[in-house]
Amino acid sequence: MSLSDLAYARIEELLVCCELRPGLFLATHDLQGMVGFGRTPVLQAVNRLAADTLVHVTPRHGLQIVPVDLTRDRVLLRLRRDMERFVIRLATERSGSSQRNQMLHLKRQLAEHRDGMTLEQFNVVDRRIDQLFLAAAGEPFVESTLRPLHTIFRRIGWIYHTHAERGANLQDTVDAHIAVLDAVATGNVDDAISASDRLVDFVEGMFEVLEREVEPALLDCRLGELDETFLRSDSSFDHREGT
């Protein structure tokens, strides 16, 4: 991998786990310090992330981590469903024995660690599953579109599993991924597409929970800053009233 690819992967990780908070503004040199790469690879990675609609570059204001827009992401999930069906079908039809063995290995990993897997561990396996299915499908044209969709929904999943009460348990999402791996590895196209649809259905079910349970500032940190401004204003007003 090139330095640009490594910088992209590191920034993507920080986006997914919201260490780079949705809505955050920062300068390029701040991002360089966070990821440990020089200006050129970071700029190249930022340009790719901007094309992926994950980062917004604003003249004279630096970079903004694109906030989570649940309305938009619901629409994008429909696109992901159709693209996943296409990729899963091709992966099921085209995967070779080595790729199928890798799928079964990932399936065993998920099954063995299902009850004690952390979200960080799961996301490592999840990225590997996505890469393996795309490689097995053998159609690079779709990768540039599906890759950022995976990142968008991996961030949605991170927020759901870390801030929603019912998301604390990873077993449902692990089971959904096991079902897809098993169907693709055994070459059953209909079962694979059905399993993929059930996985997307699971993701779709996150939205209602996020809308009901998650603080809006987790989706756009600027809202938290606005709340703090009002609190400071109220405190100042109360103080003046007291005097």
Q: How far apart, in Å, are the Cα atoms of 104 and each of 96, 108, 122, 166, 183? A: 12, 6, 16, 29, 10
- Asked if 184 contacts 103 with a C-beta cutoff of 8 angstroms, the reply is yes
The DSSP secondary structure of 168-224, one letter per residue, reads G--HHHHHHHHHHHHHHHTT-HHHHHHHHHHHHHHHHHHHHHHHHHS-HHHH-HHHH
Tokens of 139: 């159609």
Q: Which fold has domain 3-66?
A: Arc Repressor Mutant, subunit A (1.10.10)
- In which residue ranges of the chain is CATH 1.20.120.530 found? 70-216
The tens-digit pLDDT sequence of the chain (243 residues) is 899 999 999 999 999 999 999 999 999 999 999 999 999 999 999 999 999 999 999 877 789 999 999 999 999 999 999 999 999 999 999 999 999 999 999 999 999 999 899 999 999 999 999 999 999 999 988 988 899 999 999 999 999 999 988 777 899 999 999 999 999 999 999 999 999 999 999 999 999 999 999 999 999 999 977 555 544 555 554 555 554
pLDDT for 243 equals 47
pLDDT for 217 equals 94
pLDDT for 61 equals 76
- In which residue ranges of the chain is CATH 1.10.10.10 found? 3-66
Q: Token match 């096991």: residue? A: 178
Domain 70-216 is classified in which CATH homologous superfamily?
Answer: GntR ligand-binding domain-like (1.20.120.530)
- Asked if 132 contacts 177 with a C-beta cutoff of 8 angstroms, the reply is no
Tokens of 185: 């590895």
The DSSP H or E segment spanning 155 is: helix 143-163
> Could you say which DSSP state residue 141 is in?
G
- Asked if 193 contacts 85 with a C-beta cutoff of 8 angstroms, the reply is yes
Q: Token match 């399993």: residue? A: 195
Query: What's this model's pTM, rounded to 2 decimal places?
Result: 0.88
